[in-house]
Amino acid sequence: MMAPTTDVLRVEDLSVAFQTRGGLVRALDRVGFTVGAGQTMALVGESGSGKSVTAYAVMGLLETAGRVTGGRAFLGQTDLLATPPRTMARIRGRRIAMIFQNPRAALNPIRAVGKQIADVLLRHGGATRSNARDRAIEALRAVGIPDPARRAKAYPFELSGGMCQRVMIAIAVAARPDLLIADEPTTGLDVTTQAVVMDLIGAMARGSGMATILITHDLALAAERANRIAVMHAGHMVEEADTATLLARPRHPYTARLIAATPTAAGSLASLQSVPGGLPDLRQADRLHCRYAGRCERRQDACDAVLTMRPAAPGHAVACWNPL
Amino acid sequence: MTALLELENLRKHFPVGRTGWPSKAAPSFVHAVDDVSLAVQPGETLGLVGESGCGKSTLVRLITRLLDVTGGKIWFNRRELAEVPARLFARDDDRAHIQMVFQDAGESINPRFTAADAIADPLRRLLGLRGAALRSRIEEAALQCGLPLELLGRFPHQLSGGQRARVGIARAIGTRPRLLILDEPTAALDVSVQVTVLKLLQTLKVDLGLSYIFVSHDLNVVRLLCDRVVVMYLGRIVETGPARAVFETPLHPYTRSLVAAVPRLDGPRPDAPRLVGDPRSPIDPDPNACRFYGRCPVGVARCGTEMPALRDFGGGRDVACHLAEGPG
């Protein structure tokens, strides 16, 4: 039995829609999950499944075409979705931080990295003008950058991809946030660098009890790094369980398909199976029923009913009318 | 059996820094590819792996004759290609026989070309096909790649990731090449689609009698598709052998760390130290030191004074490490 942890983030029934020329796209439909202190929750799914939209909605960073149409996201006692933008600006960077993919593009290209860290420390970290520089160098040292005093003066183009991602991590954890959202933090990095960066994020989380949301399309990475995995498909959360259970006994047909498509260290090419079909068109009316039904070999008449997450076992929820 | 492609001591050095007149300082060189020898047999898939900056892409550009070599030989189908200048190779007969599938077809296909235009381009330029002959060759290539003909009129942004990947492959096989170089062909794809594309590549290889050089840093994918694998570090081959053996019992400390860093869905990861730090500078490296020395978890003093040569460990395995011991 896992020790009870306090929930850092609790997302309930989060729905998001985008207004496009082709009509209203219901990108997220009633997504809910919790992340406990010191825990890592992985959001896994194909591109277009709504992983990043979930994070952006929680952060209050949706682009203008996007709108939260329902739900709540509690950071402690605060409902982030009902928080005015001005207050959100104080929460972002201080209590929630985010690491983006492609760190070199996410950093300011014309500002030395030490200054970019100092900016965050000045705004959110309680640093003063006199000690911001030293604290920035200290932050660089904490993420394992050699010769931090010299690197602080470097611009992003002078640093390798792995190095830039460490700078991003240093910026993200500068104000000791309660929650870190890592959106594909290692996509585009070498596997060796990926391992080091993920070790670093893990160490930071363990050191401060920070909760982490790891957004990734790589099920193997999630398997190795997360306590719990939530699988997303076309804006629905379809299954959520602790990592070992989800991988050993997936209940949703999509989860099982995803596992069967992921290359392993032992399997052959013939043993891998693709996931048939593609994501459905999300522009149609309310789409409250299963969005995987069109691709599913276990579809039956009952699948036309409104879909909700239901417990399959303690700590294991699945959104399927005919689970495995 | 004669190899389809054989590289002999291939080198590519790029000049950097103050090279021109009136500087008196000796010019510096980036040793992008150093002393690389390898062979690709007909029908074989050779995997090329290593971190970014290890010289994979330069090596590929030398083989595809987009770059002139600094030294060494490239034997393709018993013909020496390294002596053909890169600017003339565009009109060479063998241009059509060495083709490439680029990473992320969404980025590498001209956005103003329809799928048919993209596939037609090399057929027009290299084979001079026109009219009905061109049309039938486009359709043949599309069908071989499982691309429905009704999609041929679409532009890249109107195609899904998997369909774009098929266009990129159809474009490469249209000229009926002997050797296909695949540069991370599935890196931009979701796992759900990746499997289909990998299986397509496997089928095409057998049906069309192709040989592949498969460049990737996804070792799980390399292991699925490749017969043999070459591991590069800072421009040099550090280990080569049958893919399964290399990944199951890596002998070079770099390969060990690389394999151990791959996330696994099944079972515990092999125990090997994390590679920390970055590779050394590839500019004028010490010719008498192992390139991995300094970052190597097991390096000894000898590694700093004597460059290890590739040693034969039996079973087709070669490893460039003073400290490597045979498997088992």
- pLDDT digit string (tens) for B180-200? 999 988 887 888 889 999 999
Cβ neighbours of B221 in A, within 8 Å: 263
Q: With contact defined as beta carbons under 8 Å apart, do B164 and B109 qualify?
A: yes
Distance of CA A54 to the CA centre of its chain: 8
Q: Is the pLDDT of residue A41 over 70?
A: yes
- Residue A246 within a domain: yes
The CB density around residue B183, as the number of other CB atoms within 10 Å, is 21
Write the secondary structure of chain A as one string of H (helix), E (strand) and C (coil): CCCCCCEEEEEEEEEEEEEECCEEEEEEEEEEEEEECCCEEEEECCCCCCHHHHHHHHHCCCCCCEEEEEEEEEECCEEHHHCCHHHHHHHECCCEEEECCCHHHHCCCCCCHHHHHHHHHHHHCCCCCCCHHHHHHHHHHHCCCCCHHHHCCCCHHHCCHHHHHHHHHHHHHCCCCCEEEEECCCCCCCHHHHHHHHHHHHHHHHHHCCEEEEEECCHHHHHHHCCEEEEEECCEEEEEEEHHHHHHCCCCHHHHHHHHHCCCCCCCCCCCCCCCCCCCCCCCCCCCCCCCHHHCCCCCHHHHCCCCCEEEECCEEECCCCCC
- The secondary structure of B62-94 as a DSSP string is HHTTSS--SEEEEEETTEE-TTS-HHHHTTSGG
Nearest chain A residue to B193 by CA: give it.
Answer: A274
- Residue (of B271, B267, B223) closest to A248 by Cα position: B267
Instruction: Please report the pLDDT score of residue A10 as a whole number.
Output: 95
- CB contacts under 8 A, A 7-46 vs B, are 46
Average pLDDT of B102-128? 91
| Cβ-defined contact of A191 to B219 (cutoff 8 Å) | yes
Q: Is residue A238 within 8 Å of A319, Cβ to Cβ? A: yes
The DSSP call for residue B310 is P
Q: What is the CATH number for A243?
A: 3.40.50.300
What residues of chain B lie within 8 A of the CB of A221, using their CB? Answer: 263
**Does A5 score more than 80 pLDDT?**
no
d(CA A314, CA A2): 12
Q: What is the pLDDT of residues A8-23, one digit of tens each?
A: 999 999 999 999 888 8
Give the pair of three-digit tokens for residue B144: 């071989």
pLDDT of residue B81 exceeding 50: yes
pLDDT of residue B169: 95
Give the SS3 label for residue B123: helix
pLDDT at A262 > cutoff 70: yes
Determine, for residues B264 and A265 on separate chains, whether the beta-carbon distance falls below 8 Å: yes
> In A, which residues are within 8 Å of B202 by CB distance?
269
Quick one: residue A144, left, alpha or beta (phi over 0 = left, psi -120 to 50 = alpha)? Answer: left
Quick: pLDDT tens for B211-221: 999 998 888 88
Domain membership flag for residue A118 = no
Instruction: Give the residue with greater pLDDT, B304 vs B328.
Output: B304
Burial class (CB in 10 A: 0-12, 13-18, 19+), B96: middle
| Interface pTM, i.e. ipTM | 0.85
Answer yes or no: is A275 within a domain. no
- Tell me, yes or no, whether A190 lies in a domain: yes
User: B126: pLDDT confidence band, cut at 50, 70 and 90?
Assistant: very high
Q: How far is B2 from chain A (nearest CA, A)?
A: 28
Q: Which residues, including other chains, have CB under 8 Å from residue A207's CB and lie 6 or more apart?
A: none
Of B172, B165, B161, the closest CA to residue B208 belongs to B172
Calpha distance A38→A53 (Å, rounded)? 23
Task: Check whether B298 has a pLDDT greater than 50.
Answer: yes
Q: Which domain holds residue A300?
A: 7-92+178-265+295-318
The model's confidence at residue A3, banded by pLDDT at 50, 70 and 90, is very low
Structure tokens of A198?
């993920």
Domain assignment of residue A167, yes or no: no
Over residues B225-238, mean pLDDT:
95
- Which helix (DSSP H) or strand (DSSP E) does residue B139 occupy? helix B131-144
Distance CA A188, CA A35 (A): 26
How many domains does chain A divide into? 1
Contact: A266, B217; criterion CB under 8 Å: no
Asked if A140 contacts A159 with a C-beta cutoff of 8 angstroms, the reply is no
Q: Which domains does chain B have, with CATH numbers?
A: 1-43+58-84+227-328 (3.40.50.300), 92-211 (3.40.50.300)
Residue whose tokens read 């300011």: A108
pLDDT in tens, B9-18: 999 999 887 6
Which residue among B202, B224, B258 places its CB closest to the CB of A191? B258
Report the pLDDT averaged over residues B81-104. 91
For B209, other C-beta atoms within 10 Å of its C-beta total 11
DSSP state, residue B157: G
User: pLDDT confidence of B20, banded at 50, 70, 90?
Assistant: low
In a domain, A277, yes or no: no
Q: Which residues of chain A lie closer than 8 angstroms to B223, CB-CB?
A: 263, 265
Inside any domain, residue A148: no
Helix, strand, or coil here: B315?
coil
* A130-134, A140-144, B149-153: segment of lowest average pLDDT: A140-144
Among residues A144, A213, A143, the alpha carbon closest in space to that of A178 is found at A213
Residue A223 sits at φ, ψ, to 5 deg, of -60, -35
| Res. B21: pLDDT tops 70 | no
User: What chain B residue is nearest to A257 in terms of C-alpha separation?
Assistant: B192
pLDDT for the residue B307: 93
pLDDT at B24 (0 to 100): 65
Name the minimum distance, in Å, from the CA of B151 to any CA of chain A.
Answer: 16
Q: Mark yes or no for CB contact B278/A219 under 8 Å.
A: no
How distant is the Cα of A88 from the closest Cα of chain B, in angstroms?
Answer: 33
Is it the case that residue B132 has pLDDT exceeding 50?
yes
State whether A196 and B276 contact (CB < 8 Å).
Answer: yes
- Which residues in chain A touch residue B261, judged by CB atoms under 8 angstroms apart? 191-192, 194-195
Q: A interface mutation test: which of B49, B151, B191, B224 has the most A CBs within 10 A?
A: B191
Query: Within 10 Å of residue B25's Cβ, how many Cβ atoms?
Result: 8
What is the pLDDT, as a whole number, of residue B42? Answer: 94
Taking phi over 0 as left and psi of -120 to 50 as alpha, with beta for the rest, A302 belongs to alpha
Instruction: Phi first, then psi: give them for residue A243, nearest 5 degrees.
Output: -55, -50
Predicted confidence at residue B328, as pLDDT, reads 56
| SS3 label, residue B240 | strand
